[in-house]
Structure formats: C-alpha cells, structure tokens
Amino acid sequence: YRSENSLSAAPFINSGGKIPLGLKTKGLRIVVTGGAGFVGSHLVDRLMARGDSVIVVDNFFTGRKENVMHHFGNPRFELIRHDVVEPLLLEVDQIYHLACPASPVHYKFNPVKTIKTNVVGTLNMLGLAKRIGARFLLTSTSEVYGDPLQHPQVETYWGNVNPIGVRSCYDEGKRTAETLTMDYHRGAGVEVRIARIFNTYGPRMCIDDGRVVSNFVAQALRKEPLTVYGDGKQTRSFQYVSDLVEGLMRLMEGEHIGPFNLGNPGEFTMLELAQVVQETIDPNAKIEFRPNTEDDPHKRKPDITKAKDLLGWEPKVPLQKGLPLMVSDFRQRVFGDEKDSST
C-alpha cells in the first residue's frame, strides 16, 4: 500500500479515522471542497508541500483550474468537478469543507443555490465524514455575527443577523452549517472543527469579485477611482491568506472543536484601506463615493484570544506587508505583465 496511488482504492473504509498499524504512510488523504478557489488553493499548496494526498472537489462556480494547475501530473493530486449539493463517495482521513461562494456579489447572485450549498452541501460532507470516520473542518464566517452589537467579536457572542435580508442566504446558511456540524458531532460522534473566518485577501482572489480589497487593488492598477461605499467609515479587519491557512491547519490538527475566530485584529475603515492602497499602488488614485449595499455590517474585528491560547496561533502579516504581495499577482493578471513574476 502506498499513499501515492491509493486515493480511490484505500483499504480502510469505516476505520474510524484511525489508520491500522503498519499501514501508516507519510501523508494523509485529504479532501478540500472548494479547493480551486482563493483560500482553498493556498491550503492545497500547503498540504501538498507537507506530503499529503489531496483531492480537490469543486464545481468551478468561483474557482479556477489555474489556481491548482501546478499540481496536475502529481500522483498525490486529484481534481474532481463535483457540486457538493450532490452526494459524494470517497475514502479519506480529513475533510476541509470550504465549498461556498464568499464574496457578497457571488453569494447574492443565486441566493437559493448559496443556501443549498451551505445546508445540503454541508450535510452531504458531514454524512461522508460520518460514514468514513474522517475529521471534518467547516470554514464558517464572521458573518455569523451579522451587524454585531459587541465589539470586538468573541466566539461566545450569538450575533445580530437579519433572517430575511439579502445577506441571509450566506449568514443564515453558515449558521445552519455550524448547527449541522455540532449536531453531527453530538449525535453521530463525528470529529469536527469550526473556523469563523474574517475578511481575508491575497493572491488568486477573483479580480472582479466585488470584495473591497480586490476592487480597490484592481481599480488602482487600472487607474480607475476607488469606489468607497457609504461614508467609508465602516470597518473591517483584513487577514493575509497565509495566516489563515496556518490557522486552519492548526485547528484541524489540534484537539479543540471551536468555533475559533481566525482573523487579523488590525481594524481599518474603508477610507483608511483606500489610503493604504493609494500608498501601495498609486498616491494619485481618486476616491469615488457610492451608495452602500443593504444590511452592510458597520464594524467587524475579531477577538482572537481563544485561538492564541488554544491553538498557539496569531496572524503575522500586517496589511502593509500583505497588500504588496497581492498587488504583484493582480498586476500580472490585469496586464499580463510577464516581467513581474514575484508571486
């Protein structure tokens, strides 16, 4: 038995997640749903580098083959075009469940599909985890706190969410996904982990996904005005993607279920973010105010005490260092500039 070629013919179905003695190989078998997306593809890179065998399951709604193409041809890597709303049979040790559009523009595009992905998709992946005894990690979101009345947000806060608003398909979908995760843990003994991810940015974000960092960076590069919604005084806390991936892996490997906030506590108003983008890309970039979207949370900042204490994790990359790393990737993709290949 070799992990390299046994992805679909693994011999220990129903092994309760424990690999029989003598069969322990150097790598784990891991599914990453949504692995062709922004966060997923960076996670896949780290797992592949560690020597694991990785199966990416993605329907390519917002993901791209380009994000994982560099693993094609590696016998430890497999890519399956599959929608998690449909059942799936696989044998693996761990499931990182990321499949779900994350940008408000994308998740509002087909809200019913977003709910189905969060509810039916998560149910299927939990059913899979239960059958094969795999450990399951859910990537939930800071949006479960809604427009928060507590600041910064602690994991014990239950949130302030509009159940009938335009963001509900995502917020309530993720809240239900968390509920399902805990019920499979309590009811079926599935080993679970829950991460509540705060705004994350970095290379490979969709250029026109409507999120604020990708918008500002693309706009500054194209010499277009930076579009600030509302008065620009609303806040977010921006985490560089490598910090998030480190947190997700520590959470999966650790002993604690969570939920854990994973985010960078550095808090910025959208006007301050625009300023950092100006300093990084183009000091002459103009700012243009636009009406804000419905139900936009006024502020958001993670309390990460729990992750610090129990996972020994905290972000290392401040916005001023992370933004330039993303800019060189965006520059290449916006202009196809072959001279700039630093990421």
45 vs 78 by CB, closer to ligand UDP: 78
Residues contacting ligand NAD: total by CB under 6 A: 29
Question: Crossing angle for the helix pair 212-221 and 270-280, nearest 10 degrees?
Answer: 40
49 vs 89 by CB, closer to ligand UDP: 89
Strands 267-269 and 235-237: antiparallel
Among 45, 52, 58, 93, binds ligand NAD (CB under 6 A): 58
Region of 20-28, 83-91, 153-161, 224-232 interacting with ligand NAD (CB under 6 A): 83-91
CA distances from 220 to 40, 112, 226, 233, 310 (A): 26, 34, 7, 20, 39
63 vs 258 by CB, closer to ligand NAD: 63
Query: Counting Cβ atoms within 10 Å, is residue 139 exposed (0-12), middle (13-18) or buried (19+)?
Result: buried
Rounded to a whole number of angstroms, the minimum distance from the CB of residue 7 to ligand UDP is: 15
121 is an interface residue for ligand NAD by CB under 6 A = yes
CA distances from 112 to 36, 85, 117, 169 (A): 22, 12, 9, 7
d(C-alpha 178, C-alpha 220), whole Å: 37
Instruction: Give every CB contact of residue 128 below 8 A, 6+ residues apart in sequence.
Output: 87, 88, 89, 90, 95, 134
Residue 197 tokens, joined: 């991810």
197 is an interface residue for ligand NAD by CB under 6 A = yes
Going by the DSSP 8-state scheme, the letter that residue 93 receives in this structure is: S
Among 10, 79, 90, 102, binds ligand NAD (CB under 6 A): 102
126 vs 249 by CB, closer to ligand UDP: 126
Return the sign of the alpha-carbon dihedral for residues 277, 279, 280, 286.
positive
Among 79, 98, 134, 248, binds ligand NAD (CB under 6 A): 98
- Chosen from ligand UDP, ligand NAD, none, partner binding at 100 (C-beta under 5 to 8 Å by type): ligand NAD
Instruction: Give every CB contact of residue 112 below 8 A, 6+ residues apart in sequence.
Output: 169
Phi, psi of 14, deg, nearest 5: 60, 30
For residue 244, the tally of other CB atoms under 10 A from its CB is 25
**Which run of H or E residues covers position 130?**
helix 122-132
HSE-CB of 209 using CA atoms within 13 angstroms:
23
DSSP string of 151-183, one letter each residue: SSB-TT---B--TTSTTHHHHHHHHHHHHHHHH
135 is an interface residue for ligand UDP by CB under 6 A = no
250 vs 259 by CB, closer to ligand UDP: 259
Among 54, 63, 94, 145, binds ligand NAD (CB under 6 A): 63
- Among candidate residues 170, 184, 201, 240, the one labeled active-site is 170
Among 3, 53, 94, 117, binds ligand NAD (CB under 6 A): 117
HSE-CB of 183 using CA atoms within 13 angstroms:
10
- Chosen from ligand UDP, ligand NAD, none, partner binding at 227 (C-beta under 5 to 8 Å by type): ligand UDP
99 is an interface residue for ligand NAD by CB under 6 A = yes
211 is an interface residue for ligand UDP by CB under 6 A = yes
The residues in 152-191 that bind ligand UDP, with binding defined as CB under 6 A, are: none
Catalytic residue check, 170: yes
Rounded to a whole number of angstroms, the minimum distance from the CB of residue 51 to ligand UDP is: 25
292 is an interface residue for ligand UDP by CB under 6 A = yes
In the complex, the residues that contact ligand NAD under the rule CB under 6 A are: 33-34, 36-40, 58-63, 83-85, 98-102, 106, 117, 121, 139, 141, 197, 199-200
In the complex, the residues that contact ligand UDP under the rule CB under 6 A are: 87-89, 104, 123-124, 127-128, 130-131, 199, 210-212, 215, 227-229, 234, 236, 270, 292-293, 296
Active site residues: 170
